[in-house]
């Protein structure tokens, strides 16, 4: 089995995520604009960066006094809650964090200010099974191929990692026609949630999206020969009205002080300090 080289840190990060989510909600509730005297930063992020954001936002607010208002959705897809759809409908935001390709598309459409894109992290695709189920060995390409052929059902993301899975990965493995009929694209939930309920035997998604889910066992990352890394980047929304706040937030999120939270949630920091 191929496991992450940062497994101890990932496990610590996983335990911290539920607490971080509560702290984020509490922080936003306890520090409204009227109380802090500072305008909130409105941030939209897709699932790949959500766990890191939930750790970082309370730290940012504690350091600066600036509240963060958060909204979540997928990088792409037809779901009403996908970030492209939310922005297209006129929902306000200051900062948008998405897979780089999706962010660039928003810039082309004028929903993100062109030229403001900043690469933040690199994210790998991982595999999970229901807690208590046998843990498969996916340490080599051949072993992963056999695991997928043997699985009765497979869940995959509707976002960047899922697009790679259905259009490239299975074809690289030579098993597209055998495996796609038993694969299910998950649009409105995390893949890990489907696996935890026993509705899919195997789940594939960004590592950072699998780790926070209760009721699953994180198996590890895909073998290097079929791994696909997604770059998650931040950009300024065209509706932004808080340039000073968003600049302070991005300065913090790209600083060395953010690296521990980023690594603990299964991501690799790549941003240059601002």
Q: Where are the strands (E) in the chain, listed by range?
A: 41-45, 68-72, 95-99, 118-123, 125-130, 154-157, 183-186, 202-206, 216-221, 230-236, 267-269
Q: Is the pLDDT of residue 102 over 60?
A: yes
Tokens of 164: 């790679």
118-149 pLDDT, tens digit per residue, is 999 999 999 999 999 999 999 999 999 999 99
Q: What is the mean pLDDT of residues 36-53?
A: 91
Of 64-68, 81-85, 93-97, 236-240, the poorest mean pLDDT is in 81-85
Q: Is the pLDDT of residue 14 over 80?
A: no
- What band does 258 get if pLDDT is binned at 50, 70 and 90? very high
Domain at 125-226: CATH code: 3.40.190.10
* Cβ-proximal residues to 44 (8 Å cutoff; 6+ apart), any chain: 70, 71, 72, 73, 83, 86, 87, 91, 93, 95, 96, 97, 237
Domain 7-121+231-269 has CATH 3.40.50.2300: no
Q: Is the pLDDT of residue 202 over 60?
A: yes
Q: What is the mean pLDDT of residues 164-176?
A: 97
Instruction: Answer with the residue of higher pLDDT: 68 or 159.
Output: 68
Tokens of 27: 């922080």
Give the predicted TM-score (pTM) of the model.
0.79
* 3-state SS, residue 44: strand
Q: Where are the strands (E) in 3-64, listed by range?
A: 41-45
Return the domain boundaries, the chain.
7-121+231-269, 125-226
State the angle between helix axes of 243-253 and 47-64 in degrees (0 to 180), rounded to the nearest 10: 110
- Per the CB < 8 A criterion, the answer to whether 73 and 89 are in contact is no
Nearest to 43 by CA among 22, 73, 17, 13: 73
User: What separation in angstroms does the CA of 145 have from each of 100, 129, 149?
Assistant: 28, 16, 6
Sheet-wide strand order for 68-72:
68-72, 41-45, 95-99, 230-236, 118-123, 267-269
Q: What is the mean pLDDT of residues 11-27?
A: 47
Same fold: 7-121+231-269 with 125-226: yes
Burial of residue 215 (CB within 10 Å: 0-12, 13-18, 19+) is middle
How many other CB atoms sit within 10 Å of the CB of residue 108? Answer: 10
- Per the CB < 8 A criterion, the answer to whether 95 and 210 are in contact is no
- What band does 32 get if pLDDT is binned at 50, 70 and 90? very low
């Amino acid at each position: 089995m191929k496991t992450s080289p940062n497994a101890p840190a990932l496990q610590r990060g996983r335990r911290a995520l539920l607490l971080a989510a509560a702290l984020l909600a509490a922080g936003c509730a306890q520090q409204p604009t009227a109380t802090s005297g500072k305008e909130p930063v409105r941030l939209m992020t897709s699932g790949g960066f959500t766990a890191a954001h939930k750790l970082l936002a309370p730290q940012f607010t504690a350091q600066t006094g600036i509240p963060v208002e958060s909204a979540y959705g997928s990088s792409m897809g037809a779901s009403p809650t996908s970030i492209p759809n939310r922005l297209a409908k006129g929902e306000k935001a200051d900062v948008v964090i998405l897979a780089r390709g999706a962010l660039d598309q928003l810039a082309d459409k004028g929903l993100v200010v062109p030229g403001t894109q900043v690469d933040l992290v690199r994210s790998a695709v991982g595999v999970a099974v229901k807690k208590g189920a046998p843990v498969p060995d996916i340490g080599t390409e051949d072993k992963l191929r056999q695991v997928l052929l043997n699985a009765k059902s497979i869940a995959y993301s509707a976002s960047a990692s899922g697009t790679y899975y259905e259009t490239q990965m299975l074809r690289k493995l030579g098993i597209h026609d055998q495996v796609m009929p038993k694969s299910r694209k998950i649009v409105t939930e995390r893949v890990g949630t489907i696996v935890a309920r026993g509705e899919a035997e195997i789940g594939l998604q960004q590592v950072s999206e699998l780790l926070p889910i209760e009721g699953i066992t994180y198996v590890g990352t895909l073998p290097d020969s079929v791994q696909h890394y997604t770059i998650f980047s931040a950009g300024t929304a065209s509706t932004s009205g808080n340039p000073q706040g968003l600049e302070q937030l991005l300065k913090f999120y790209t600083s060395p002080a953010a690296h521990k939270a980023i690594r603990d949630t299964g991501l690799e920091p790549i941003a240059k300090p601002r």
